[in-house]
Structure 1
Amino acid sequence: MRVLQGATAPGADPAEVRSLLTASLSEAADRARRSSGGRLQRYATDGWSFVTDTPASTAPVWGTPGKTAWASGESLMLVGPPGVGKSTIAQQIVLARLGLLAQVLDMPVQQGEKVLYIAADRPSQLARAFTRVVDPAHQDILRQRLVFWSGPLPASLNAEPQLLTELAAEHGADTVVIDSLKDVVGKLTDDEAGLAYNNARQQLLRDGIELLELHHQRKQGPDASRNQRPVLDQVYGSAWFTAGAGSVLFLNGAAGDPVVQLHHLKTVDDEIGPLPVIHDHPRGTSHVDTSLDPLTLLRQAGTHGLTARQLATQTTGEANPRPADLAKARRRLEALTKSGHAVQETGAGGGAGGGQATRWTAATRHISAVS
């Protein structure tokens, strides 16, 4: 800049001034690039490495290969109205990540290192809920591997998308739980806010941090039925919240219900459920009601057996199951046949279009086991 000051003296050559100014601006841009700490190269990968170095599959954070509730490297969104047990299930997943539980809802949870739980919504109530499931023997693990952030964040994530990654790095967490999205994002219905939050989410995931998000459904009208199958459109706010999520689980029910229905609205691979989930509120635990297990239902049907439509009707609670539910019921029955737990009897209308005429019965040893 001292050279430019000299060039602005009376009688200076305008062409020389332009040349000096261009050189100065170019030098400033080079300094900015060099001081950026490599951020422009941080996530850049050549095409071959991007394709071949990315694993075809990874161990699920929650679930099993082919039945994944939460995939590593992708976020899980747990949605539902207030009081249906979202935080109850989240706290069990957290304890499993810490190695204090092996399974949640009959699905294994991969153990992690350290969890950052952003308790932005009613932290004191959450603390009371955790007292139901921990004891003094867990003290060292909870002190060293679980951190709670109580109350609002320093800024909304749509205003400062990098904040989420910075928080995880500050506390050395490999898992972040957000409870809940409405408390960390400004205007949930604004697409710009949704896009900014998804930027925050993807930055965190790109750094190898697993993310569990708790969220709410849209307010239902007076004609809404709790027995109606939920859909992604019922998730509150911008569509970008669900678009960027890897998996979306929806808990359907009313506040305080001991039994709610878990639906898999956005899947990783094969759909999980619908599952009837029984909450034991005094103990803070949850388990799947196995009375709707396909093999259990086959055993109860005895020698009459079940068609795919009958099984789908019983497991979904819907008089007219969707084609997808019929196909899923058929796959379950065929899997039981393959494993030797069921016998398939194809009727006159069987074949490619005869799913309703095909009937399955429990293998004799399984019927006699409950006789």
Structure 2
Amino acid sequence: MENVRPITPHDTADEDGLNRKPPADPEAERALLARIIHNPKEHQDAADVLTSEDFTQPGHRLIWDVIGHQLAENKPIDPISLRAAIEALGQLRAVAGGGLIFEVSNAVGPVDTVHYAGLIHAKTRLRRLEELAIRLRSGVLNGGTAEDLEEQVTGFVQQLTTQQSNNSRLIPGGSFILDRPDTVPAIWGEGDNVLWAEGEALIIAGPPGVGKTTLGQQVLLAAIGIRPHALGLAVRPAKRVLYLASDRPQQAARSMARMVTDEHRDLLNQHLTFWPGPPPKDFIKDPGMLLRLARQADADVVCLDSLKDMAGELSSEEGGQAINSAVQRTLVEGVEVLALHHHRKQGGGKDSGKEPQTPDELYGSVWITAGAGSIVSLWGAAGDPIVSLRHLKQPVAECGPWRLKHDHPRGVTEIWHEVDVLDILLHANGALTAQQLACQIYSPDKGKPTASEVEKARRKLDQLVERNLAFKVQNGGGRGSQAGYVAAFSPSGELPEES
């Protein structure tokens, strides 16, 4: 029997230790359950982090589930009540005839429920990673292809992302609707002048060469503390920006190089990460790719330069929905999105060469613009130092329209001209109607504003009335009369005579 040797404990596991017990923390499970039994109000705090699948001991899992049912029905969760409820289910054996309930109840509870819930859930994450590692190793040893194994990794990450989102996104209706700030939280802007709202994507669109990359980069540099503002409006600080330079990355680098110096190197390295070239996968094939890239870069802001490089066939339903899905998945996880985009190519008809007036005039499926919270349009000839800015879709009030001046050598853009509604009102000959104001703001050349432009002009005048800077009066009689507006004081600052 020279070939036979005794089996030692080490032989029951392979060299990698894959046969050992899965990661678990039963002590933390008992302590958490004890805390909740004695402090039922903290159950929700733990439920925001955990599900019953996080408990590795069957008895602990059963106690957790029964606690949840009891609380949902406003029933007590003391040890005797829990034992009775488990007995009614016919599962007393799983808790040692009830002894486990009393043993758990007597355990020392944690001071911080959320902390202990996090410890337990961390073990779950380790178990999932260990299971994946075992499957991958088995696949390698059994001749699996690289494509199949990589697909397993991608599926695992997507599933994990979905589970984490679903576990933390349920919000009571009253809180979601009513517990909101009075003003829209802004990424770029303040008060009613908001160009980029929190949790909503911003699209900066324009034809080639009008400075949309320049403007977008100025916003991002303000977010990481290199610039004090963008167009005079404050920008909320960002932890780290991920810039997907998919459309001519070297041009994007040259553009930003005009705005920074070597003294900014440390700030740029700390707060800005570039991904040159297209994303690893088309968003149509993998809408979760954008969120994974953001997490890989540890970014809370992403810039897509530009949308046409993120998915093929943007004009198709599939392409538009893929872009929208990728953006919404990213936003809901707290990562803000700025995208650079293009207008539709105009034909040779009567509308050729006209400045876009609506989001419908941007290239691609309606799903792209429908999913954005704010759309800014730049218009002009390529290389022009003066271009126009229109706010085609607004999270609050309309900003502009403005004329912007690009100082290309220095990489600086500023508002060169802005229509001053109050100044127009002060120098008007009599009461000013919304249509007259719309002509001056939106269509000084064509003379006939659209109904939407008239309504936007009316809102601007009504805002002056709300601020006690103007009065609203009836301008003439008859069915066709329009309301008029007059300034609350004269150009010299005096109050008008009573009429």
TM-score, length basis structure 1: 0.79
Match of 2:417 among 254, 276, 290: 290
Opposite residue 300 of structure 2, the aligned amino acid is D
Q: Is 2:357 aligned against 1:234?
A: no
Question: Does residue 260 of structure 1 match 2:387?
Answer: yes
Distance 1:151 1:307, change over 3 A: same
Residue 146 of structure 1 pairs with residue 272 of structure 2: yes
Question: What is the 5 A alignment of 1:128-143?
Answer: 128-143=254-269
Mapped partners of 2:455, 2:344: distance in 1: 29
State the shift of 1:66 in Å: 3.1
The whole-number CA distance in structure 1 between the counterparts of 2:306 and 2:409 is: 23
Q: Is the 8 A contact 1:307 1:359 kept in 2?
A: no
Q: Give the aligned partner of residue 333 of structure 1.
A: 461
1:307·1:360 contact (CA, 8 Å) conserved in 2? no
Residue 449 of structure 2 is matched in structure 1 by: 321
Rounded Cα–Cα distance in structure 1 between residues aligned with 2:331 and 2:317: 21
1:176 corresponds in structure 2 to 302
Distance 1:305 1:361, change over 3 A: farther
CA contact (8 A) 1:345 1:360 kept: no
Tell me if the contact between 2:288 and 2:329 (Cα under 8 Å) persists in the aligned partners: yes
Query: Deviation string for 1:184-206 (max 9, x for gaps)?
Result: 21221221122122221111112
The question of whether the paired residues in 2 share the 8 Å contact of 1:263 and 1:275 is answered with yes
**For the residues of structure 2 that align with 1:44 and 1:128, how far apart are their CA atoms?**
43
The alignment partner of 1:311 has SS state of helix
Distance 2:169 2:230 in 1: 39
Counterpart of 1:190 in structure 2: which amino acid?
S
Whole-Å separation in 1 of the counterparts to 2:479 and 2:197:
34
1:276 aligns with 2:400: no
Task: Give, as a single letter, the amino acid of the residue that structure 1 aligns with 2:231.
Answer: L
Q: C-alpha separation between the residues in 2 aligned to 1:143 and 1:266?
A: 33
SS of 2:338 mapped into structure 1: strand
Q: State the alpha-carbon separation in 2 of the partners of residues 305 and 216 from structure 1.
A: 40
Q: Is the 8 A contact 1:304 1:361 kept in 2?
A: no
Instruction: Give the conservation status (yes or no) of the 8 Å contact 1:246–1:266.
Output: yes
Most deviating of 208-217 and 354-363: 354-363
1:65 aligns with 2:191: yes
Structure 2 residue 373 is the aligned partner of structure 1 residue 246: yes
Length-normalised TM-score, structure 2:
0.60
Displacement after TM superposition at 1:319 (Å): 0.8
Worse-superposed segment, 90-99 or 242-251? 242-251
Amino acid at match of 2:381: A
Mapped to 2, the partners of 1:361 and 1:225 lie a distance apart of 42
- Higher mean alpha-carbon deviation, 43-52 vs 105-114, is at 43-52
Cα 1:346–1:40 shift into 2, 3 Å: closer
Shift of 1:97: 0.6
8 Å contact kept, 1:120–1:152: yes
Hey, what does 1:308 align to over in structure 2? 434
The structure whose RCO (Cα within 8 Å, separation 6+) is larger is 1
Name the residue aligned to 2:490.
Answer: 363
Equivalence map 1:115-126=2 (5 Å): 115-126=241-252
> Comparing both structures, which one devotes a greater share of its residues to helix?
2
Aligned with 1:249: secondary structure? strand
AA partner of residue 458 (structure 2): R
Secondary structure of 2:337's aligned partner: strand
2:386, 2:406 within 8 Å by CA — same for their partners in 1? Answer: yes
Q: Counterparts of 1:178 and 1:67 in 2: how far apart (Å)?
A: 23
SS of the aligned residue for 1:93 comes to helix
Q: Is the 2:425–2:486 contact (alpha carbons within 8 Å) kept by the matching residues of 1?
A: no
The equivalences for 1:102-117 within 5 A come to: 102-117=228-243
1:307: Cα distance to partner?
4.2
**1: CA distance, partners of 2:281 / 2:306:** 15
Is 1:133–1:284's contact at 8 Å kept on the other side of the alignment? Answer: yes
Moved more, 262-271 or 301-310: 301-310
1:56 corresponds to: 180
- Structure 1 residues without counterparts, runs of 5 or longer: 1-30
Moved more, 64-73 or 115-124: 64-73
CA distance in 1, matches of 2:430, 2:315: 51
Amino acid at match of 1:312: A
User: What is the one-letter code of the residue matched to 1:49?
Assistant: P
SS at the partner of 1:117?
Answer: strand
Task: Summarize deviations over 1:299-343 as a string: whole Å, max 9, x none.
Answer: 6x377675433322111124112233333333433444554655x
Q: 1:174 offset after TM fit, Å?
A: 0.6
Q: 2:153 — aligned with what?
A: none
**In the aligned structure 1, how far is the partner of 2:293 from the partner of 2:168?**
26
* Aligned position for 1:91: 217
Instruction: Output the CA distance in 1 between the equivalents of 2:449 and 2:358.
Output: 15
Corresponding residue pairs, total: 333
Give the residue type in structure 1 aligned to 2:367: W
One-letter amino acid of the structure 2 residue matched with residue 156 of structure 1: D
8 Å Cα contact 2:431-2:475 kept in structure 1: no
State the Cα distance separating 1:351 from its structure 2 match. 10
Secondary structure of 1:364's partner?
coil
The aligned amino acid for 2:318 is E
The 1:349–1:195 alpha-carbon spacing in structure 2 relative to 1, beyond 3 Å, is same
CA RMSD of aligned residues (A): 3.0
**Structure 2 stretches lacking a partner, 5+ long:** 1-130, 133-155, 495-499
Identity of aligned residues (%): 39
- The match for 1:13 is none
Larger C-alpha radius of gyration, 1 or 2?
2
CA distance in 2, matches of 1:38, 1:162: 9
Residue 42 of structure 2 is aligned to residue 42 of structure 1 = no
Distance 1:159 1:365, change over 3 A: same
CA distance in 2, matches of 1:96, 1:350: 52
Deviations 1:201-244 (A, max 9, x none): 11111211000011111110123344444222211112211122
Paired AA for residue 172 in structure 2: S
Other-structure match for 1:167: 293
Opposite residue 454 of structure 2, the aligned amino acid is: L
- Secondary structure at the aligned position of 2:321 is classed as helix
Q: Distance in 2 between matches of 1:296 and 1:203?
A: 44
Q: Does 1:195 align with 2:321?
A: yes
